[in-house]
């Protein structure tokens, strides 16, 4: 059972586990997302964050970081497919791909569907990687793909080592608080620009247009000063707050609406992504165009 609860007043609790439900709550908006659970499979405090794994009644296993839902086995494909397939289909020949964050392996799994030459995943928390391989076995094979290099470290520092190198950079970050806050700064996106080839594309997790409108508007305006092409698009993910998650698309050369990649193998097994949806996802509601 999946429940979206509209609370009467703002809560001060990041998350709770009441009876057989896990609730993700937030101090900034009066909404909680609740999932019925079967078991609390594991709880680990890493040096960077609290990691919890739940088995839910209807959504499979669920990964929670610092009280915020990161993914469920039921609907993660919508997020991961749209984060990956949109930029990789907009680029004619993506061979070198960097994922910053994404230690759960969902983004990596989608990237591995393409005939890329080199795939690098840089995540600061090795325990997320270890627990994901245990509880999300569908992602585990991507970690042993011979093209993949796993780097445990700070993505904002790692990116500084590259210039004119990657075709695609994917920032699969959690919310802009705690260890992920540095992944939303002007300096970080300047480093991304420098690390991309002359026709490179970068896409980042872009929060909810319903709950983070001003953050998105400010972020978009700031990054337009760095990249020639900056666009916002979104996907429907029921277990994320508001049920909608956005993405910020940055490119040096390629606008996002033309599909240039002939490697259709990348999305032919998709559950959510289609070429038509690719284009439609950039059509924003009126309140985001004001």
> What CATH number corresponds to the domain at position 235?
3.40.50.150
Q: Each residue's pLDDT tens digit in the chain (290 positions)?
A: 444 433 322 233 355 555 699 999 876 777 889 999 999 999 999 999 999 999 999 999 999 999 999 999 999 999 999 999 999 999 999 999 999 999 999 999 999 999 999 999 999 999 999 999 999 999 999 999 999 999 999 999 999 999 999 999 999 987 666 555 666 788 999 999 999 999 999 999 999 988 888 889 999 999 999 999 999 999 999 999 899 999 999 999 999 999 999 887 888 899 999 999 999 999 999 988 76
What pLDDT sits at residue 221?
93
- Triad 75, 39, 106: Cα angle to 5°: 30
Residues 138 and 210 in one domain: yes
Residues 165 and 197 in one domain: yes
CATH of residue 43's domain is: 2.30.140.10
Residues 261 and 278 in one domain: yes
- Per the residue annotation, which of 123, 172, 175, 191 is the catalytic one? 172
Burial class (CB in 10 A: 0-12, 13-18, 19+), 287: exposed
Residues 259 and 118 in one domain: yes
Residue identified by tokens 């439900």 is 21
Residues 57 and 177 in one domain: no
CB 111 within 8 A of CB 170: yes
What pLDDT sits at residue 15?
57
Residues 135 and 213 in one domain: yes
Residues 154 and 251 in one domain: yes
Last residue of some domain: 70, 90, 123? 70
Last residue of some domain: 14, 43, 70? 70
What pLDDT sits at residue 175?
66
The 3-class secondary structure across the chain, one letter per residue, is CEEEEECCCCCCCCEEEECCEEEECCCCCCEEEEEEEEEEEEEEECCCCEEEEEEECCCCEEEEECCEEEEECCCHHHHHHHHHHHHHHHCCCCCEEEEEECCCCHHHHHHCCCCCCEEEEEECCHHHHHHHHHHCCCCHHHHCCCCEEEEECCHHHHHHHCCCCEEEEEEECCCCCHHHHHHHCHHHHHHHHHHEEEEEEEEEECCCCCCCHHHHHHHHHHHCCCCCEEEEEEEECCCCHHHEEEEEEEECCCCCCCCCCCCHHHCCCCCCCCHHHHHHCCCCCHHHCC
Long-range contacts from 282-287, C-beta under 8 angstroms, 24+ separation? 282/231, 282/232, 282/233, 282/256, 282/257, 284/209, 284/232, 284/233, 284/234, 285/209, 287/209, 287/213
Determine the Cα–Cα distance for residues 98 and 90; give it in Å rounded to an integer: 16
Residues 92 and 143 in one domain: yes
Tell me if the pTM is above 0.75. Answer: yes
What pLDDT sits at residue 181?
65
Residues 175 and 260 in one domain: yes
Residues 228 and 279 in one domain: yes
What pLDDT sits at residue 2?
44
The pLDDT tens digits for 158-187 are 999 999 999 999 999 876 665 556 667 889
What pLDDT sits at residue 155?
94
Residues 222 and 100 in one domain: yes
What pLDDT sits at residue 22?
95
Last residue of some domain: 37, 70, 103? 70
What pLDDT sits at residue 6?
31
Containing domain of residue 56, as a range?
A: 2-70
Helix axes 213-223, 186-195, angle to 10 degrees: 50
Residues 107 and 91 in one domain: yes
- What total number of domains does the chain contain? 2
172 in catalytic set: yes
């Amino acid at each position: 059972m999946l429940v979206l609860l509209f609370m009467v007043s703002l809560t001060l609790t990041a998350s709770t586990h009441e009876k057989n439900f896990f609730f993700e709550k937030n101090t900034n908006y009066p909404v909680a997302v609740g999932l019925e659970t079967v078991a609390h499979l594991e709880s680990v405090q890493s040096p960077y964050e609290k990691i919890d794994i739940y088995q839910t009644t209807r959504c499979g296993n669920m990964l929670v970081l610092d009280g915020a839902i990161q993914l469920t086995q039921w609907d993660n494909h919508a997020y991961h497919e749209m984060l990956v397939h949109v930029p990789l289909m907009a680029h004619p020949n993506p061979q070198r791909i960097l994922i910053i964050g994404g230690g759960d392996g969902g983004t990596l799994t989608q990237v591995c569907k393409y005939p890329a030459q080199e795939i690098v995943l840089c995540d600061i928390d090795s325990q997320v990687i270890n627990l994901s391989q245990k509880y999300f076995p569908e992602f585990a094979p991507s970690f042993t793909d011979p093209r993949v290099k796993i780097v445990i470290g700070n993505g904002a520092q790692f990116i500084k080592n590259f210039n004119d190198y990657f075709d695609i950079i994917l920032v699969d970050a959690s919310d802009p608080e705690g260890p992920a806050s540095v992944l939303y700064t002007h300096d970080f996106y300047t480093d991304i620009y420098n690390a991309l080839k002359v026709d490179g594309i970068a896409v980042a997790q872009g929060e909810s247009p319903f709950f983070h409108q001003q953050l998105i508007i400010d972020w978009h305006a700031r990054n337009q000063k760095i990249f020639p092409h900056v666009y916002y698009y979104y996907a429907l993910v029921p277990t994320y707050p508001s049920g909608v998650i956005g993405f910020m698309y940055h490119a040096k050369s390629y606008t996002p609406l033309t599909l240039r990649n002939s490697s259709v193998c990348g999305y032919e097994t998709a559950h959510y992504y289609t070429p038509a949806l690719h284009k439609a996802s950039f059509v924003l509601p009126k309140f985001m165009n004001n």
